Amino acid sequence: MNKSEGEFVVGSELGLHARPAGRFAVLAGHYESEIEVGLGDEWVDARSVLSLLSLAAGRGTRLRLRAVGPDAQEAVAALGAILEESRESN
Protein backbone atom coordinates (compact mmCIF):
# COMPACT_ATOMS: atom_id res chain seq x y z
CA MET A 1 0.00 0.00 0.00
CA ASN A 2 1.35 3.42 -0.96
CA LYS A 3 1.75 6.10 1.69
CA SER A 4 2.49 9.78 1.30
CA GLU A 5 2.79 12.70 3.70
CA GLY A 6 3.47 16.38 3.35
CA GLU A 7 3.39 19.67 5.22
CA PHE A 8 1.85 22.73 3.62
CA VAL A 9 1.29 26.35 4.63
CA VAL A 10 -2.18 27.84 4.18
CA GLY A 11 -1.72 30.64 1.66
CA SER A 12 -5.17 32.21 1.48
CA GLU A 13 -5.52 35.60 3.15
CA LEU A 14 -8.74 34.35 4.78
CA GLY A 15 -7.34 30.97 5.73
CA LEU A 16 -9.06 27.67 5.08
CA HIS A 17 -12.57 29.12 5.03
CA ALA A 18 -15.74 27.54 3.59
CA ARG A 19 -15.06 27.94 -0.13
CA PRO A 20 -11.52 26.50 -0.27
CA ALA A 21 -12.46 23.85 2.31
CA GLY A 22 -15.30 22.81 0.03
CA ARG A 23 -13.01 22.61 -3.00
CA PHE A 24 -10.50 20.66 -0.94
CA ALA A 25 -13.09 18.14 0.30
CA VAL A 26 -14.55 17.59 -3.18
CA LEU A 27 -11.09 16.98 -4.66
CA ALA A 28 -10.22 14.63 -1.79
CA GLY A 29 -13.33 12.65 -2.63
CA HIS A 30 -11.99 11.92 -6.10
CA TYR A 31 -9.11 9.86 -4.74
CA GLU A 32 -9.24 6.23 -3.67
CA SER A 33 -6.75 6.81 -0.86
CA GLU A 34 -7.73 7.50 2.74
CA ILE A 35 -6.68 11.11 3.33
CA GLU A 36 -6.36 13.02 6.59
CA VAL A 37 -5.39 16.58 7.47
CA GLY A 38 -3.54 17.28 10.69
CA LEU A 39 -2.94 20.28 12.91
CA GLY A 40 -1.06 19.60 16.10
CA ASP A 41 -2.35 16.33 17.52
CA GLU A 42 -5.71 16.59 15.74
CA TRP A 43 -6.35 14.67 12.52
CA VAL A 44 -9.55 15.05 10.47
CA ASP A 45 -11.06 13.43 7.40
CA ALA A 46 -10.07 15.39 4.29
CA ARG A 47 -13.48 14.70 2.74
CA SER A 48 -15.42 16.48 5.52
CA VAL A 49 -15.86 20.23 5.10
CA LEU A 50 -17.02 20.65 8.70
CA SER A 51 -14.01 18.75 9.99
CA LEU A 52 -11.68 20.90 7.90
CA LEU A 53 -13.32 24.08 9.18
CA SER A 54 -12.96 22.82 12.77
CA LEU A 55 -9.19 23.16 12.38
CA ALA A 56 -9.65 26.96 12.14
CA ALA A 57 -6.55 27.17 9.96
CA GLY A 58 -5.68 30.78 9.23
CA ARG A 59 -3.15 32.12 6.76
CA GLY A 60 0.32 30.83 7.55
CA THR A 61 -0.93 27.77 9.45
CA ARG A 62 1.11 24.64 8.76
CA LEU A 63 -1.14 21.70 8.02
CA ARG A 64 -0.02 18.12 7.50
CA LEU A 65 -1.52 15.78 4.95
CA ARG A 66 -1.24 12.03 4.99
CA ALA A 67 -2.71 9.56 2.56
CA VAL A 68 -2.70 5.79 2.26
CA GLY A 69 -3.80 4.10 -0.93
CA PRO A 70 -3.03 3.60 -4.60
CA ASP A 71 -3.03 7.32 -5.47
CA ALA A 72 -1.58 8.66 -2.21
CA GLN A 73 1.28 10.68 -3.72
CA GLU A 74 -0.95 12.32 -6.33
CA ALA A 75 -3.56 13.16 -3.68
CA VAL A 76 -1.08 14.80 -1.30
CA ALA A 77 0.48 16.86 -4.10
CA ALA A 78 -2.86 18.10 -5.49
CA LEU A 79 -4.42 18.82 -2.11
CA GLY A 80 -1.27 20.51 -0.85
CA ALA A 81 -1.40 22.84 -3.85
CA ILE A 82 -4.94 23.90 -2.88
CA LEU A 83 -3.81 24.65 0.67
CA GLU A 84 -0.96 26.82 -0.55
CA GLU A 85 -3.01 28.83 -3.06
CA SER A 86 -3.01 32.52 -2.22
CA ARG A 87 -5.80 33.64 -4.54
CA GLU A 88 -9.18 34.58 -3.12
CA SER A 89 -11.32 34.06 -6.23
CA ASN A 90 -12.09 30.48 -5.18
Active-site positions read: 17
Written as tens digits, the pLDDT of the chain (90 aa) is 899 999 999 999 999 999 999 999 999 999 999 999 999 999 999 999 999 999 999 999 999 999 999 999 999 999 999 999 875 544
The predicted model scores a pTM of 0.91
- What CA–CA distances, in Å, run from 8 to 1, 42, 64? 23, 16, 6
| CA 77 – CA 41 distance, rounded (Å) | 22
CA atoms within 13 A on the CB side of 54: 13
Domains, the chain, with CATH or none: 3-84 (3.30.1340.10)
